[in-house]
Structure 1
Amino acid sequence: MSKIDQYIHAATRDNTQRSYQGAVRHFEIAWGGFLPATADSVAQYLAAHAETLSINTLRQRLAALAQWHLDQGFPDPTKAPVVRKVFRGIQALHPAREKRARPLQLEQIEKLTGWLDAAISQAAASNARAAQLRHTRNKALLLLGFWRGFRGDELTRLQVQHIDVVAGEGMTCYLARTKGDRQHKGSSFKAPALTRLCPVTAYLDWIALAHLQEGPVFRSIDRWGHIAEGGLHINSLVPLLRSLFSDAGIAFAEQYSSHSLRRGFANWASANGWDIKTLMEYVGWKNVQSALRYVDSADPFSRQRIEAGMHATLLAAPGK
């Protein structure tokens, strides 16, 4: 890989690179398209998958094809009028309802933490080191992911050497790249030490038990208790969380994902009086639309507002 290729590679998030590579393979291998592509072939590709792929997936496929052509020095066929019209037609005929991960509630965090604490104690008593390591790691991942509102890929990219901890006060996690950091300046995220459900204590317990001094914070553990050198793969995070939720007796475990931690914290903060600006600064959102997608209304059907307004109107009516 040349120096230029290395810098180009570094400019794009790993998740984005993987998804773009997969999209280009799908166009070229699974569908049988040719690269560089014509506008007509891209339009045919969209039409062929209009009923099987979501709008967001098709949008991502177009972005990947556009990036491939730009990287290779070819004109971008995805901006052609025929492609734009086909895409708008698909949006009109196949409107998609956005799917959102079920938010994790604080009561469920308490239940999960209680289950993990019991499992850790039982594993320690029976000398089952692999189980003890796994449950201790999961507790740290759960509490840090929730209280910091981390994305899944951010959790998997945390590095021990980039985390500073002040016992009893809090911790600072540095990430060289985040989704909203277009300038690649790096971002620091602080998490407080809490009297209950503490992410700092859970993190320190995991680091001490695993004897980690540098490298990825969260890693896979085999049946013999061997800890991997590399970090958890992003694709393993959702199955790990769903398995944990299922084992702990959380209903509808299959409806949760890594986004459930982020949405859960956003809903908790909003319900406890955090204004949207404070929440955006804490979590790292750059625009209000992104934040509002994660926050559910406390009165989703506006029943309380309508009832209150109706009551006030009736009281003010003549003869009342």
Structure 2
Amino acid sequence: MTITRVLDQLDRIYLGKPEITRLCCTALLADGHILLEDVPGTGKTLLAKSIAKSFEAEFTRIQFTADLLPTDIIGSDFFNVQTQTFENKTGPIFTNILLIDEVNRAVPRTQSALLEAMEERQVSIGGVTYKLPEPFFVIATQNPIESAGTFALPDAQLDRFLMSLQVGYPEAEEERQLILQTISKTRHAVHALMSSETFLAAQREAEDVRVHEDVVTYLLALIQETRKHPLVEVGASPRATLALVKASQAYAYIEERRFVTPEDVQAVAIHVLAHRLTLTLEGDVKSSKRAILADILERVDVPVEKV
């Protein structure tokens, strides 16, 4: 599959994190947006750029800052003195893959301007609705440690991201390779390997991956546990349930299977659900969202194939 070639290229460029590159491609195949969270210098922007360039699609990058206005993103109407008419100037959001660096540095008003685009794939300018190009994805990065000059993303916007991924540091050997590539100036170039048409066709194929009733029952059991857990105040919503189904289908498709297994659900569950949970005050002190989900995955019985 062409998506396999994309994964191979990403693994050569973004060293030591094959599970992260696989999850990113899974989210895109599931028609979802990605939030990359980690400390500065872990290659979040490099990863986002490499993903964008691997597809023959239009790519735009926006650096979010505190003085960025909603019109700087979606565009605005302006008065043309020569023609004496109002004309529309579209913003950088009219692209296929939109990379937003440090999304939590913009004020809530600007962050909210993304909501309609992320959910509906459209924006409203001067009372007129404009459809965004297909495909359309947002890959956003944020530093979860630094708080000065940042604004927490509202729950409504967090819920629009299909996955939240924590990149993490590379292993020592991968970091050694990174140093050697930098010294020898032999960093791999990124080539466009998949056209928009091919990608949209792959999306449709991923949607047709079969989900057995037993897997649905298992998936729902996981969702119910997030709602009953004593350290969770607000569990996974029905939107989160559907997101988990789509992500599991896409992951199975990348694994070149036409059906979803419980292992596919387990591979994506933490990344799909963690940012959608709200913990109790006690939960914030005692545990983390990802640790709670890992515990749930450990406790819920996994369906086995009947002999």
TM-score range, shorter chain: under 0.3
TM-score relative to the length of structure 2: 0.25
> More helix by proportion, 1 or 2?
1
User: Which structure carries more strand by proportion?
Assistant: 2
Greater relative CO (CA pairs within 8 A, separation 6+): 2
Greater Rg by CA: 1
TM-score, normalised with respect to structure 1: 0.24
